[in-house]
């Protein structure tokens, strides 16, 4: 009998999160994804994943809330029976120069992008420790490695996420749980599609491979790290950036 694994993806209704959810579904995993407010996008993603022939659940939750994360994890286990893969993808941006950045812009990004990951790992680790298995994959950014003008809050959160990844990897390794992070570079999205050609061309010139990445390329790495083939990889920060960060690290 084929026993499907269950993957939980936070922020899985759009963008990279959606690509990850769909790719994991194509690999035969049951899917639970969280979203915050866009019911229409969540429903479209739900239907698309359902067409892959797996069980799927969309759950409205703010990952920055400790209690909402607990409900998300509890509901996933109740509906699916387990959580084998956790992908911490939910994140926001509130860009501004440090001299203009408001305290709430800094705090909100830290709460969602950093504390949200702590909340999810905290709750899911109890389940994975009992199972003596699990894959935790954190979606970071090369900004956490190289910094960026106007993104001191985002860079701080993503750099902190790298510390969480390495520390959790050491804590959970003895029970067969791996923890890794993926740091995407400039990835094709609704946001990048609206950029002026002049600005986009300047960014592409900074990428050794000479092109913008695709969400599927991030999703493919998630699938590998979630697989048995990656069972000896943990505590790593892997860039998917066409070489963009090479000269800056």
Helix (H, G, I), strand (E, B) or coil at 160: helix
**Per-chain mean pLDDT for the chain:** 95
For the chain, what are the domain ranges? 6-248
Q: Give pLDDT tens digits for 180-222.
A: 999 999 999 876 777 788 888 888 999 999 999 999 999 999 9
Q: Which residue of the set 66, 154, 199, 232 is catalytic? A: 154
Identify which of 123, 126, 124, 156 has the alpha carbon closest to the alpha carbon of residue 141: 156
Q: Give pLDDT tens digits for 58-101.
A: 999 999 999 999 999 999 999 999 999 999 999 999 999 999 99
Which whole number is the average pLDDT over 8-28?
96
* Superfamily grouping for domain 6-248: NAD(P)-binding Rossmann-like Domain (3.40.50.720)
Distance from the Cα of residue 34 to its chain's centroid? 11
Q: Is there a catalytic annotation at residue 199?
A: no
The pTM (predicted TM-score) of the whole model is 0.95
**% of the chain at pLDDT higher than 70:** 97
- The torsion angles phi and psi of 114, rounded to 5 degrees, stand at -115, -60
């Amino acid at each position: 009998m084929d026993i499907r694994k269950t993957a939980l993806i936070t922020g899985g209704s759009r963008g990279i999160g959606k690509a990850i959810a769909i790719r994991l579904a194509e690999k035969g995993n049951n899917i639970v994804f969280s979203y915050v407010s866009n019911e229409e996008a969540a429903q479209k993603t739900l239907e698309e994943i359902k067409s892959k022939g797996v069980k799927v659940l969309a759950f409205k939750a703010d990952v920055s809330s400790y209690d909402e994360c607990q409900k998300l994890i509890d509901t996933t286990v109740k509906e699916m029976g387990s959580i084998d893969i956790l992908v911490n993808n939910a994140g926001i941006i509130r860009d501004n120069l440090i001299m203009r950045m408001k305290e709430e812009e800094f705090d909100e990004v830290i709460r969602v992008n950093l504390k949200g990951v702590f909340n999810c790992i905290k709750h899911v680790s109890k389940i994975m420790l009992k199972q003596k298995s699990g894959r935790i994959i954190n979606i970071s950014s090369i900004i956490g490695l190289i910094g960026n003008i106007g993104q001191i809050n985002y860079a701080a959160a993503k750099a902190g996420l790298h510390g969480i990844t390495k520390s959790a990897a050491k804590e959970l390794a003895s029970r067969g749980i791996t923890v890794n992070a993926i740091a995407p570079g400039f990835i094709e999205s609704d946001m990048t599609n609206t950029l002026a050609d002049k600005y986009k061309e300047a960014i592409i010139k900074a990428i050794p491979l000479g092109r913008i990445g695709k969400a599927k390329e991030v999703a493919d790495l998630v699938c590998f790290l979630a697989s048995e083939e990656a069972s000896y990889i943990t505590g790593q920060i892997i860039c998917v950036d066409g070489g963009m960060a090479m000269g800056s690290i």
